[in-house]
Amino acid sequence: MTWRLLVTEPADGATNMAVDEVLWRGRRAGTSPPTLRFFAWAPPTVSLGYGQPLDQDLDQAVCRALGVGLVRRPTGGSAIYHDGPERELTYSVAASNDDLGVGTDLLASYRWVARALARGLRTLGAPVEIVERRREYGPVPAFCFARTGTYELELGGRKLVGSAQRRHGKSFLQHGSILLDVDAARVAEIFLASEPLATVATLAEALGRRPAWDDCVTALSGAFEAEHGITLRPGGLSAAEAGDVETLAREKYATDAWLAGLP
């Protein structure tokens, strides 16, 4: 099966989230192919989970002082600090259960993505492990990397990849953050709660060097093809998709109402 491989230039939070939603909408309508996307953020941005409180979990004044953007994702989960292509690679998958050849079980799609991510990261030299079941429950932490969920990836018992998903029928959007490195001091400054950075793993730590963003894209793309027998064809957004992204970014993701979590 042929998929689109979409590698986009660093963009602000509203644009990045609008692209992901447009890809998902298009796949749901059958007007867009299944798409694997890799992207980065400019400026560095905190993305909040769909239902996450804005004022309780992070210091907005610190974000403004540091030039850090804020955006609310269409998916759930906890906040992630996206620190630009030097320290972070973000992926997204917009597809359907039929594209993956799996049933309607939510976890089956998570597992499908996790297997490819793990294969790519191991190719880079990182001995990652897939967490088959979440190890602890209770209140959701403010910071995504404070707890590992089912079919997320760890390195030496610490979280390396955080992912979130949104579904509509058989179609879904899953996106997540892969830490090349981390600015621990900045993360601690942004988030109000005391989150144990001891739970965070990075590729820089695993490899003894910070890997290049492009090298990670190459390894992960090859892994999706090898693990699942798909063909990735590099491509861009269609004219219709690009127009929808511009509208959605402006009218939804860049608005104060959406960021505040208002209907």
Phi, psi torsion values for 231, nearest 5 degrees: -115, 125
Q: Is 63 known to be catalytic?
A: no
Give the chain as a DSSP string.
-EEEEEE---B-HHHHHHHHHHHHHHHHHTSS--EEEEE-BSS-EEEEPTT--HHHHB-HHHHHHHT-EEEE-SS-S-BEEE--TTTEEEEEEEEEHHHHT--S-HHHHHHHHHHHHHHHHHHHT---EE-SS-S--SSPPSBGGGS--TT-EEETTEEEEEEEEEEETTEEEEEEEEES---HHHHHHHBSS---GGGB--HHHHHTSPPPHHHHHHHHHHHHHHHH--EEEE----HHHHHHHHHHIIIIITSHHHHHT--
Q: For residues 96 and 187, is the Cβ–Cβ distance under 8 A?
A: no
Q: Could you say which of 19, 68, 144, 248 is catalytic?
A: 144
For residue 214, what are the contacts with CB-CB under 8 A and spacing of at least 6?
none
The answer for 195, left when phi > 0, alpha when psi is -120 to 50, beta otherwise, is beta
Dihedral sign for Cα 55, 59, 65, 67, please.
negative
| Catalytic positions, written as ranges | 144
